[in-house]
Structure 1
Amino acid sequence: MADEQSASPEKYWYNTKTKQVEKGPQSTWEHRMGPYDTEAQARAALDRAASRSAEWDAEDREWNS
């Protein structure tokens, strides 16, 4: 990811440690998910990640069958 994009103050991140949405990069990369274009997208980051993981797990099971 480009440094310019990840440092954009107009983007939002989800902080996995504090469970809060941040506008602009405020925390270290170890605790950030994003960037997202909207606060709502950032707030849904964990749900989206869980959904994608479930989809990939299902694809793996299908592939292995």
Structure 2
Amino acid sequence: MAYWYNVSSGQVESDDNKSQSDDLMGPYDSQEEASNALQTARERTEKWDAEDKAWEEGRSED
């Protein structure tokens, strides 16, 4: 079963009770992963931003 995080309600939803909404993040393999969706997204964005910055800095040295 897949789990989803609803950013509007702040609730975890399963395939059985999933909203028909654009406000869902997922799917996730567990309720715990879905409940941490915003933190996971934040960490990934920070990582990607750091990689982009390093790449841009590397280009400017050429």
- Within a 5 Å distance, the mapping from 1:15-30 to structure 2 comes to 15-24=6-15, 26-30=18-22
Give, in whole Å, the separation in 1 of the partners of 2:54 and 2:45.
Answer: 14
Q: Which ranges of structure 2 fall in alignment gaps of 5 or more residues?
A: 58-62
Give the aligned CA root-mean-square deviation in angstroms.
1.1
Give, in whole Å, the separation in 1 of the partners of 2:19 and 2:8.
Answer: 9
Which residue does 2:56 correspond to in 1?
Answer: 64
Larger Rg: 2
- Aligned residue type for 2:3: Y
- Aligned residue type for 1:38: S
Give, in whole Å, the separation in 1 of the partners of 2:18 and 2:37.
Answer: 17
Q: CA deviation at 1:28?
A: 2.5
Alignment size in residue pairs: 56
- Aligned residue type for 1:56: W
Equivalent residue in structure 2 for 1:50, among 39, 42, 62 = 42
Q: Identity over the aligned pairs, expressed in percent? A: 43
* 2:22 alignment partner, SS class: helix
